[in-house]
Amino acid sequence: MATKPEDRLAQRLPPGQYMARDFPVLHVGDVPRFDQATWHFRVWGDVERPLEFDWRQFSALPHTTVKADIHCVTRWSKFDTTWAGVAFRHLLQLAGPTPSARFVITHGANGYTANVPLTVADNADVLLADTYEGKPLEPIHGGPLRMFIPSRYFWKSTKWCTGVEFSREDKPGFWELRGYNNDGDPWKEERYW
């Protein structure tokens, strides 16, 4: 018997989510102004080689494209979004996390942070994304650069990302300290603590 369309949708929508057609915008604070001349990106903490890039250097890194569904804790999901950027695994190769590194903390504008285990960030679909649907990522969606972790609720995907910290200790971030679940797996519906 053929699968009914609503069953296919249910298999693709995590529990409690609905399918959005638009692309909602969600963040705290103001959209920061991007200045190519002063923008810089750092990788620090438990790594063999701390890194620092200006915009030109970061843009010159090899880019990868990922197509994935995204899921926001406020219950909208969006299917088949296409992003391009630097594969997180490429950054791992460049920086070389030490054996003590177990958590990844992304730092964004206005002091926003989000934490994931290194095992979650070390995945082929995780990007530092500067491109959405073939165009430079718009400032309202985190441009020039945001973290992209499709396997977790979208709050883990830090907008206006300017740094990645590797840590032996977990460091719950902005929303994790305000009641959101530390892991945030949409398939387990891990919304709140």
Rounded CA-CA distance 73/153 in Å is 6
Query: With CB under 5 A, what is the number of residues at the site for Mo ion?
Result: 4
25 makes contact with ligand MTE (CB under 6 A): yes
The region of 31-39, 69-77, 105-113, 178-186 touching Mo ion under the rule CB under 5 A is 69-77
Give the x/- contact pattern for ligand MTE in 130-159, rule: CB under 6 A.
Answer: -----------xx-----------xx-xxx
Residues 6+ apart with CB under 8 A from 88: 121, 122, 123, 126, 127, 128
Contact between 83 and 132 under an 8 Å Cβ cutoff? The reply is yes
Helix then strand then coil, % of the chain, to nearest 5? 20, 30, 45
The pair of structure tokens assigned to 72 is 């926001």
The answer to whether 24 contacts ligand MTE (rule: CB under 6 A) is: yes
Residue with structure tokens 């298999």? 11
Give the type of residue at 58. F
Nearer to Mo ion, 122 or 190 (CB): 190
20 touches ligand MTE by CB under 6 A = no
**Which residues of the chain form contacts with ligand MTE (CB under 6 A)?**
24-28, 72, 108-109, 112, 141-142, 154-155, 157-160
**Which residues of the chain form contacts with Mo ion (CB under 5 A)?**
26, 72-73, 155
